[in-house]
DNA sequence: CTGAAAGCGCTTACAG
DNA sequence: CTGAAAGCGCTTACAG
C-alpha cells in the first residue's frame, strides 16, 4: 500500500519489471499468469514472489489486445423513453444482478448500459464485449428491432423478454407457472377465474401464461376467460382499469390471474378502492415475484422465476455462442409463492 | 450487415484498411476519430466515407492501450453474505441505474460487479477502470473496510452509503429530509412522534436523519424520542420488532418517523397486524422512496432522494478525481412524497 | 494539415 | 521448460 501523490509518480509495474526482479524473461512472466502449467514450479514461485513484491497485476488492456479475448459481457437494459431509471421494473434490476453474478463466476466482467432511444454501443465492432445480453421492457419495439437485426448478423446476443421468437432467448416456464397459479386458485375454491392479460401483446410471455391458464381451466372443466388489458398504458394502470371494467361487467368473477405482478398490484389497488375484500370476494395471483408484491395489501400470491438460474442461463447462452459449448434448455423454472391474496 | 458464418471469416477492418481505401496514412485515420479538428474537412470526409463503407469502428482495446485512457467506471454493489441478488435493497438497484446513465452521458462505460465476501477486482492495478463507485449495504463492514483502505492509497473511489467519513462520499440531504418529514407530521397534528432508528448504527445517515428529526421537534417545542432498533436484524424485522416494543411500552405514541423505508414497511405490517389504524391511530413516514413503498398498506409517505442527481454526483466525483475538475457539493436534494400513511 | 515511426503491455508461435 | 522476436491496433511526439 504505497501512498500515491506522496511525491513518487510510481509507474505501474510491467511484466518486464517482474522479469528483471525474478531473473527470467518477460515471456516467462507472461506464461506464469496466462498458462501456469507450462512453467516449472520453481520458476513460477520466483515469478509470483517478484510480482507480489512489486504489486504487479496483468494489464488487462495489453492482454486483451494481444489475445483478442475481451472477457466482457455487455448487458443492455432496454427502457421506455421518458421513464427514469428509478422507475424501471424492479424485476429487471433483480435479473441484472443475477446476470452480473453469473458472469463474474464464469470469469467475465459485465459492461452495463441502460438504453432508451439511442441504441448505439457497437460492442462487437469496437471489441468491447464478447457477447451481449439484452433485457428490459418488451414494449420498446424500436429497441428490440435493433437487437434483432444485430442478432441476425452476429450471433452473440442472448435476451430475456424479447417480443421476437427468432432471437436467442431465455424465458420463464410461463405456461407451467400459469398452470400452477390457476390450479392453486381452483383448489382454493375459486371458480369464475378471469385472466387479466393479452394474447396480442408484444409480451409473448403473456400469451404463454394465458395458454397455461387455459389448460388448467379446461382440465378442471371450467371455461377460460380473457379480460383484455390496454397494453399502451403503464402496467399498474392496466390493472386498475382492468378491475374497473371487470366490476362493471355482467360476468361473475371471483378470482383474477394477472399476467404480471405490476398488473396485479394495480388490480389490488382498484379492488381495495372499490371496497372488494381480497381474498374473500376476489382472489388475485400475479406473476414475476416483484419485491413490492411482498408489501402490497394484502401481500400478493405470485409465480416467481428462479432468477439465479435465469442469470446463469443467459450467461451460459453467451458462452455457448462464443465457444460452442453445450447450452442447457433455456426455460427457467418457476415456483408458486402463496401469500394472502388467495384463500 | 454482412451475414457472418456465411463462409467468409471477414476480418475486422483496421485503421490501415481504412487508410488504404481513403488514400491517406494510418495516422490520419486515427486522428480523424480521436482528434478531428487536426484534420482538414476534405480529408476527414474521405476517411469517414471509407470507414462507413468498411463498417470500421475504432478498436477500444488498441486505443485504450496506447492512450492509457480506460474510459470505464467500475461500480461495486456491496451485498450481505448469503443474500441473493434479488433480495438486494431495490434502492441500490435504482441508484445503480442512474449511475450507469450518468456515466454513459459522460462518455464512460460502467463495469458492474456485485460483491459479498470476496473483494478482489484490482480495477486500478489491472487497468480496468479509471475510478470505482461503491454503493450497497452499509452493514458489510469488511467490504467497506476494504474500499476504505483502497481509498486511502488510491484516490479514485467515490461512494454512497459508506459508514466511514474519510472516504469520498455523496449523500442525501438526510438532515433536511428528516426535518421535512417531521415538520409534515407536526403540521398534520401528530405530537408524540417517535424516531425508529439508531444513533450508533454504522449507517451514518441514520444519525443524520435522527438529528434532522430532533431539530424539527425542538423547534416545535416537542421532545424528540429515539426508539432504538436492533441493527443486527433485517430491516423489515427491525421495523416489526420496533413497533411491537413501542406498543408494549408506556409512552404515548401517535406517529413514527422511520430511519428508512424498509423499516417503515415492517412497521406498517406490524401495525396492521396489531389492529392499529394508519394514519388514524398512528402516522408513519419513511425515508428512501422505495418502489415497494408505493404499494404498501397504506401507501407510505416518504422522503425520496433525487436519484438522477445522486448518480450524476457520483460520476462527477470520479471525474473530478481523474482529471482535477471542480466537483459540486456532494449532498443530494430530497423531496417529501406524501401518501396515505399520514393524515 | 499530414506522414513515418515508435511504442503502449501483453501473448504466442518458433526454436532450442 | 524457457527465451528471443514478432505483432495485436491504436496514439502521439517529431518533422515537414
Q: Do B57 and A126 touch (CB under 8 A)?
A: yes
- Nucleotides on strand D with an atom closer than 7 A to protein CB? 1-5, 7-13
A195 neighbors A260 (Cβ within 8 angstroms): no
State the angle between helix axes of A15-22 and A26-34 in degrees (0 to 180), rounded to the nearest 10: 110
CA A216 – C1' D11 distance (Å)? 65
**Chain A CB contacts of B149 below 8 Å:** 1
- Give the pLDDT confidence of A202-215 residue by residue, as tens digits: 778 899 999 999 99
Q: Which residues of A184-218 are buried (b: 16+ CB within 10 A; e: fewer)?
A: bbbeeebeebbbbbbeebbbbbbbbbbbbbbbbbe
Cell of A343: 384463500
Which residues from chain B sit within 8 angstroms of residue A88, using beta carbons?
Answer: 94, 97
Report which DSSP code applies to B221.
T
CB atoms within 10 A of CB A35: 9
> Grid coordinates in use for B166?
474519510
Task: Work out the minimum CA distance from B304 to partner chain A, whole angstroms.
Answer: 11
* C-beta atoms surrounding B274 within 10 Å: 13
Nearest by CB to A60, from B127, B152, B289: name it: B127
Could you please report the per-residue DSSP string of B123-187? TTTTT--SEEEEEE-TT-HHHHHHHHHHHHH---EEESS-S-TTSEE-EE-HHHHHHHHHHHHHH
- In order along its 343 residues, chain B shows pLDDT tens digits of 333 333 344 678 999 999 999 999 999 999 999 989 889 898 999 999 999 999 899 999 999 999 988 889 999 988 887 776 666 777 888 888 889 888 888 888 898 888 877 666 688 888 889 899 999 888 788 889 989 988 887 678 999 988 888 888 899 999 999 999 999 999 999 999 999 998 887 778 899 999 999 999 999 999 999 999 988 888 889 999 999 999 998 899 999 999 999 999 999 999 999 999 999 999 999 998 887 888 888 999 999 999 889 999 999 999 888 876 667 668 999 999 999 999 9
Under an 8 A CB cutoff, do A153 and B111 touch? Answer: no
Chain A residue closest to B4 (CA)?
Answer: A153
Dist. CA B338–CA B92, nearest whole Å: 22
Which nucleotide lies nearest residue B66, CA to C1'?
C8
Q: Which residue is nearest to nucleotide C9 (CA to C1')?
A: A62
Q: How distant is the Cα of A185 from the closest Cα of chain B, in angstroms?
A: 23
Predicted pLDDT at A219: 97
Cβ–Cβ < 8 Å for A145, A78? no
Is B284:B264 a contact under the CB 8 Å cutoff?
A: yes
Q: Report the C-alpha gap between A202 and A47 in whole angstroms.
A: 57
Q: Find the Å distance, CA of residue B46 to C1' of nucleotide D16.
A: 23
Q: Output the nine-digit C-alpha cell for B250.
A: 408506556
Compare CB distances from A90 to B5, B90, B298 and report the shortest one's residue: B90
CB contact under 8 A, B292 and A297: no
B297 with A292: Cβ contact below 8 A: no
pTM over 0.85: no
Nucleotide C12's nearest residue (CA vs C1') is A67
Tally A–B CB contacts below 8 A. Answer: 179
State the pLDDT at residue B5.
36
CA A290, CA A275: separation in Å to the nearest integer? 25
Q: Cα(A333)–Cα(B160) distance, rounded to whole angstroms?
A: 35
For chain A, the residue count is 343
Rounded-to-integer distance, Cα B63 and Cα B70, Å: 9
CB-count exposure of residue B52 (10 Å: 0-12, 13-18, 19+) = exposed
Measure the CA–CA gap between B216 and B180, rounded to whole angstroms: 8
DSSP bridge partners of B150: none
Q: Using the CB atoms, write b or e for A258-295: b if 16+ within 10 Å.
A: bbbbbbbbbbbbbbbeeebebbeebbbbbbbbbbbbbb
Closest-CA distance, B220 to chain A, in angstroms, reads 33
| B52 CA from D10 C1′ (Å) | 18
CB B153 within 8 A of CB B124: no
A29 CA → C10 C1’, Å: 10
Angstrom distance, A13 CA to D15 C1': 32
What pLDDT, in 10s, does the model give residues B90-142? 788 888 888 988 888 888 889 888 887 766 668 888 888 989 999 988 878 88
DSSP alpha helices (H): ranges in chain B?
15-22, 26-34, 41-54, 60-67, 90-105, 141-153, 174-187, 204-219, 235-248, 261-273, 307-323
Number of H-type helices and E-type strands within chain A: 11, 13
Whole-number percent of chain B with pLDDT over 90: 54
Contact B267, B258 (CB under 8 A): yes
Confidence of residue A159 (pLDDT cuts 50, 70, 90): very high
Sequence-distant (≥ 6) Cβ neighbours of residue A7 within 8 angstroms? none
The alpha carbon of residue B12 is apart from the nearest alpha carbon of chain A, in Å, by: 8
d(C-alpha B19, C-alpha B218), whole Å: 73
Q: Considering CB atoms only, which of A4, A272, A292 is closest to B292?
A: A292
Contact A295 B1 (CB under 8 A): no
A61 vs B97, B127, B265: nearest CB: B127
Amino acid at each position: 500500500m504505497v501512498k500515491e501523490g506522496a511525491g513518487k509518480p510510481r509507474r505501474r509495474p510491467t511484466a518486464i519489471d517482474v522479469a528483471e526482479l525474478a531473473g527470467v524473461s518477460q515471456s516467462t512472466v507472461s506464461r506464469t499468469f496466462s498458462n501456469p502449467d507450462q512453467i516449472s514450479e520453481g520458476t513460477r514461485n520466483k515469478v509470483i514472489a517478484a510480482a507480489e513484491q512489486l504489486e504487479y497485476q496483468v494489464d488487462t488492456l495489453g492482454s486483451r489486445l494481444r489475445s483478442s479475448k475481451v472477457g466482457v459481457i455487455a448487458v443492455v437494459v432496454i427502457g421506455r423513453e421518458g421513464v427514469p431509471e428509478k422507475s424501471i421494473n424492479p424485476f429487471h434490476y433483480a435479473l441484472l444482478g443475477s446476470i452480473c453474478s453469473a458472469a463474474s463466476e464464469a470469469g467475465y466482467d459485465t459492461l452495463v448500459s441502460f438504453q432508451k432511444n439511442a441504441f448505439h454501443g457497437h460492442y462487437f465492432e469496437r471489441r468491447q464485449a464478447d457477447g451481449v445480453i439484452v433485457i428490459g421492457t418488451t414494449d420498446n419495439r424500436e429497441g428490440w428491432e435493433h437487437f434483432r437485426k444485430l442478432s441476425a448478423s452476429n450471433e452473440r446476443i442472448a435476451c430475456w423478454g424479447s417480443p421476437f421468437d427468432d432471437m436467442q432467448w431465455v424465458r420463464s416456464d410461463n405456461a407451467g407457472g400459469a398452470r400452477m397459479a390457476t390450479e392453486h386458485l381452483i383448489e382454493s375454491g375459486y371458480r369464475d377465474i378471469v385472466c387479466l392479460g393479452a394474447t396480442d401483446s408484444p409480451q409473448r410471455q403473456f400469451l404463454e401464461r394465458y395458454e397455461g391458464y387455459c389448460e388448467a381451466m379446461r382440465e378442471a372443466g371450467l371455461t377460460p376467460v380473457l379480460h383484455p388489458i390496454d397494453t399502451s398504458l403503464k402496467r399498474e394502470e392496466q390493472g386498475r382499469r382492468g378491475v374497473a371494467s371487470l366490476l362493471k361487467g355482467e360476468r361473475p368473477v371471483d378470482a383474477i390471474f394477472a399476467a404480471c405482478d405490476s398488473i396485479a398490484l394495480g388490480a389490488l389497488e382498484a379492488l381495495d378502492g372499490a371496497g372488494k375484500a381480497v381474498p374473500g370476494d376476489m382472489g388475485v395471483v400475479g406473476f414475476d415475484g416483484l419485491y413490492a408484491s411482498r408489501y402490497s395489501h394484502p401481500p400478493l400470491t405470485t409465480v416467481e422465476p428462479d432468477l439465479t438460474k435465469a442469470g446463469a442461463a443467459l450467461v451460459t447462452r453467451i458462452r455457448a455462442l462464443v465457444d460452442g459449448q453445450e447450452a442447457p434448455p433455456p426455460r427457467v423454472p418457476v415456483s408458486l409463492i402463496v401469500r394472502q391474496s388467495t384463500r
